[in-house]
């Protein structure tokens, strides 16, 4: 879903930072996977051509830039883009900003020309700029692993050139030189100075990665809906062949097909939101419940909706199925599951084996319909919540129609989601138009 790139001069610590960022993403966030890559690619013909051009210096600045751009274009569209659409995070050691600095700012081509050559490549969502003293960088180049991949004695191995490169990064990533389109859309953090211990560097990177992801920025290269449709389809494929989900102490069992259980969607939302509010506002509710007051809030719909898709799961499995769009922090996930178990009774938490360390959570069958409706109407959750806040006395039956007129793209997204989830009635086709979506909301049928 996000392309995160690591930039900086030779020997600045980009490789170490790349490894650390991938570990932070894998440990703390709920991407469907984390992939690490680098440019130029040393396992692809185009990348090797770029490497050879750098090593010898014989290609000239234009051809060298073309080799890098060709490798990046192929890398972007055959390797990076498909993975982003699957909800994965990509961490790339070097990407387009390297070309902008080496061939555009420091080199002879100019930044606009280099940007034009690379304009169709993926745009880094976040560029992490790692910096260090040029002298320290040169010592790392001479004594580190770079010697194993390139003969650096023929290229970039002078104090003067390292100083130019470092200044180039400061000018471009520091904002002195305007970032050319389309790469001005991405976010840049740094310089993150690599002058201390590895723990110091990890902490600096962790702060920046957390800050970026907790803001939930819109990805630049894929839509969140593309990612969500992939994640929803993946969840249901995992249940393929099962017409029911056999949930402990659930009677009747939850169903992948008849999840509306002959009820109307608007009535389910009405009754479920009231039950949630009554539970968290009950006189016996803990003083520090720390639960959202809004049942249509992100954490409520994310967790209940995700649990409605899968059988019993432990917290780790639940966070995997949340994916990057419905992401909730591990701490808040545990807190919300506890609230649903102890206060509202929507979720049952149990241990599958005596002495088992990991408790498992399951959504009770009574609440499956609300969870799946929440997933289906996820693109409209803020609009529905605002409508309810400003029309507290109105019937939920009219809520969807009130917000659809100003959200045509969200309506299309809801229809696409229901095409995967189904209408909730085995013999009824899901809605395919805005009018059918309204009919489904009001009657449970098209």
pLDDT at 257: 86
377 against 149, higher pLDDT: 377
Residue 153 has pLDDT above 60, yes or no: no
When pLDDT is cut at 50, 70 and 90, the band that residue 439 belongs to is very high
pLDDT tens-digit series, residues 366-386: 899 999 999 999 999 999 999
- The proportion of the chain whose per-residue pLDDT surpasses 90, expressed as a percent, equals 62
Structure tokens at 318: 């639940």
pLDDT tens-digit series, residues 1-23: 999 999 998 888 899 999 999 99
Tell me the pLDDT of the chain averaged across its residues.
87
- DSSP string of 29-55? S--S-EEEEESS-TTSHHHHHHHHHHH
Mean of the pLDDT values across residues 147-167? 63
Burial per residue of 347-358, b for 16 or more beta-carbon CB atoms within 10 angstroms, e otherwise:
bbbeeeeeeeee
Residue 352 has pLDDT above 90, yes or no: no
pLDDT at 351: 78
51 against 309, higher pLDDT: 309
Residue 240 has pLDDT above 70, yes or no: no
When pLDDT is cut at 50, 70 and 90, the band that residue 245 belongs to is low
When pLDDT is cut at 50, 70 and 90, the band that residue 147 belongs to is very low
pLDDT at 342: 84
Residue 249 has pLDDT above 70, yes or no: no
Residue 211 has pLDDT above 70, yes or no: yes
Structure tokens at 56: 């010898």
What lies within 8 Å, CB to CB, of 191 at 6+ separation is 8, 129, 130, 131, 169, 170, 173, 174
Of 5, 9, 14, 7, nearest to 137 by C-alpha is 9
pLDDT at 112: 95
**Cα separation of 108 and 253, whole Å?**
69
Domains observed in the chain = 2-222 (3.40.50.300), 225-443 (no CATH)
**Cα separation of 319 and 76, whole Å?**
28
Mean of the pLDDT values across residues 196-205? 93
When pLDDT is cut at 50, 70 and 90, the band that residue 154 belongs to is very low
Residue 424 has pLDDT above 80, yes or no: yes
CA dihedral 324, 326, 330, 333 (to 10 degrees): -170
pLDDT at 57: 67
When pLDDT is cut at 50, 70 and 90, the band that residue 146 belongs to is very low
Residue 188 has pLDDT above 60, yes or no: yes
pLDDT tens-digit series, residues 93-102: 999 999 999 9
pLDDT at 64: 85
CB 98 within 8 A of CB 7: yes
Structure tokens at 39: 């440019």
247 against 52, higher pLDDT: 52
**Cα separation of 18 and 280, whole Å?**
43
């Amino acid at each position: 879903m996000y392309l995160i790139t690591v930039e900086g001069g030779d020997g600045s610590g980009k490789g170490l930072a790349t490894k650390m960022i991938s570990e932070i993403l894998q440990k703390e966030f709920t991407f469907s996977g984390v992939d690490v890559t680098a440019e130029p690619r040393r396992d692809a013909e185009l990348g090797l051509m770029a490497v050879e051009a750098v090593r010898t210096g014989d290609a000239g600045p234009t051809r060298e830039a073309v080799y890098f751009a060709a490798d990046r274009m192929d890398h972007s569209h055959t390797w990076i883009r498909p993975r982003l659409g699957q909800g994965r995070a990509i961490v790339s050691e070097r990407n387009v900003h390297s070309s902008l600095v080496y061939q555009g700012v420091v080199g002879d081509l100019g930044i606009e020309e280099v940007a034009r050559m690379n304009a169709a490549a993926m745009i880094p969502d976040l560029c992490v700029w790692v910096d260090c003293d040029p002298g320290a960088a040169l010592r790392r180049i001479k004594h580190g692993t770079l010697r194993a991949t390139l003969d650096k004695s023929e290229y970039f191995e002078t104090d003067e050139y390292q100083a130019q490169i470092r200044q180039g990064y400061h000018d471009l990533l520091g904002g002195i030189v305007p970032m050319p389109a389309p790469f001005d859309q991405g976010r840049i953090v740094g310089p993150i100075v690599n002058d201390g211990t590895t723990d110091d560097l990890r902490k600096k990177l962790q702060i920046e990665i957390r800050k970026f992801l907790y803001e939930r920025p819109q990805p630049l290269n894929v839509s969140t809906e593309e990612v969500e449709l992939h994640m929803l389809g993946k969840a249901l494929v995992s249940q393929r062949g099962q017409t029911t989900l056999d949930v402990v102490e659930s009677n009747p069992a939850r169903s992948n097909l008849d999840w509306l259980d002959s009820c109307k969607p608007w009535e389910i939302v009405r009754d479920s939101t009231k039950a949630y509010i009554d539970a968290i506002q009950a006189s016996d509710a803990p003083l520090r419940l720390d639960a959202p007051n809004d049942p249509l809030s992100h954490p409520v719909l994310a967790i209940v909706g995700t649990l409605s898709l899968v059988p019993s799961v432990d917290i780790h499995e639940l966070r995997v199925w949340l994916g990057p769009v419905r992401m909730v922090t591990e701490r808040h996930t545990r807190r919300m599951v506890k609230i649903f178990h102890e206060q509202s009774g929507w979720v049952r938490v149990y241990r599958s084996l005596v002495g088992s360390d990991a408790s498992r959570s399951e959504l009770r069958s009574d609440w499956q319909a609300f969870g799946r409706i929440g997933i289906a109407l996820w693109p409209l959750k803020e609009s529905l919540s605002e409508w309810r806040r400003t029309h507290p006395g109105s019937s939920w039956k009219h809520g969807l129609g009130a917000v659809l007129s100003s959200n045509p793209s969200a309506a299309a997204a809801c229809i696409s989601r229901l095409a995967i989830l189904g209408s909730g009635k085995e013999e009824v086709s899901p809605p395919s138009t805005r009018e059918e979506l309204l009919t489904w909301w009001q009657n449970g049928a098209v």
